[in-house]
Structure 1
Amino acid sequence: MITEAVMLQVRPGMEKKYEEVFREASPLIASMKGYKGHELQRCLEVKGKYLLLVQWEQLEDHTDGFRQSSEYGKWKELLHHFYEPFPEVEHFEQVNLEKGKPVYGS
C-alpha cells in the first residue's frame, strides 16, 4: 500500500468553505481504482494548514489512474484555487519493522 501525503495551505479566510468543498469533492477520489481511503486533518498550530493522506494500492493508481482521469479534472477545478502556495505531493510506503525481516522492500 502507498500513502500519498500532501501538506496544504489554504488561503486565509477560506478554511470553512474549503472544508465544505473538500467534502463535496471526496467522492471523486473515492471512486478511483486502487483507492483504499483518505483523511483530511486540520493543523492545530497553524490556521489554514491541512494534511491530506490518501491510501492507494499502488503508486500508479494515483499517478496514472487518478491524475489522468476526468475525476481529477473536477477535483482540480473544485479545490486547487484554495491553495497558496501550491502543495507538493509525496508518496510513502510502510517500513517493515518486524524483527528478523528486512527494513526495505516487501
Structure 2
Amino acid sequence: MILEAAMLQVKQGRESEFEKTFKQASAIISSMKGYVNHTLHKCMEAQGKYLLLVNWETLEDHTVGFRQSQDYQEWKRLLHHFYDPFPVVEHFEHVDLAERSV
C-alpha cells in the first residue's frame, strides 16, 4: 500500500467553502481503482492549512489511474482554485519495524 500525502494551503477566508467542496470531491477519489481510503486534517496552528492523506493500492493507481483520468479533471475543477501555493504531493511506503527472530 502507498500513502499519498499532500499539504494543502487554502486561500484565507475560503476554508468553509473548501471543506464543503472537498466533501463533494471525495466521491470522485473514493470511486477510483486502487483507492483504499482518505482523511483530511485541519492544522491547529496555521489558518487554512490542511493535510490530505490517501491510501492507494499502488503508486500507479494514483499517478496514472487517477491523475490521467477524466474524473481527475473534475477533481481539479472543484478544488485546485482554493490552493495558494499549489500543494506538494509526496508518496510514502510503509517501513516494517517489527522485530524478527534470527
- Structure 1 length as normaliser, TM-score? 0.93
Instruction: Report the counterpart of residue 35 of structure 1 in structure 2.
Output: 35
SS at match of 2:40: strand
How much identity, in percent, do the aligned residues show? 61
How many angstroms apart in 1 are the aligned matches of 2:47 and 2:9? Answer: 9
How many angstroms apart in 2 are the aligned matches of 1:39 and 1:64? Answer: 21
Instruction: Report the counterpart of residue 82 of structure 1 in structure 2.
Output: 82
Instruction: Report the counterpart of residue 7 of structure 1 in structure 2.
Output: 7
- Structure 2 length as normaliser, TM-score? 0.97
How many angstroms apart in 2 are the aligned matches of 1:29 and 1:99? Answer: 36
How many angstroms apart in 2 are the aligned matches of 1:43 and 1:71? Answer: 28
How many angstroms apart in 2 are the aligned matches of 1:25 and 1:34? Answer: 17
SS at match of 2:52: strand
Stretches (4+) displaced over 3 A: none
